[in-house]
Amino acid sequence: MTGLKEVWVFSGVNAKFPAAVFDVKEDALGWIKKNRLTGVLTKYPVGISVYEWAIEIGNFKVRSGRDSTPEFIGKFSSAAQEHMHFEDGNFD
């Protein structure tokens, strides 16, 4: 998966939707710090779902029919995604 574009997505605590998307991690870190935000910054692949990405890198295997339902795929996230937790703008 070389050459895969990635972005950094920030989601605040209890947010239903992300608050911001950055293509440069340092820009995200500065924005989080400046606004004293609490939440999670997560790296996402672009042009492929996290579900398909996790399967391709060998981090996830479909083990049952439930694992390939639209509901499961639509909610899928992976612990293999690089992510950082923040509280009041500080890396936790």
Closest CA to 83 of 54, 53, 42, 50: 42
The whole-angstrom separation of Cα 23 and Cα 19 is 14
The model's pLDDT over 3-35, given as tens digits with 9 standing for 90+, comes to 889 999 999 999 999 999 999 999 999 999 999
The model's pLDDT over 55-74, given as tens digits with 9 standing for 90+, comes to 999 999 999 999 999 999 99
pLDDT band of residue 52 (cuts 50, 70, 90) is very high
- Token pair, residue 2, equals 């070389």
The whole-angstrom separation of Cα 60 and Cα 44 is 16
Neighbour order of strands in the sheet with 83-87: 20-22, 6-12, 39-45, 83-87, 90-91
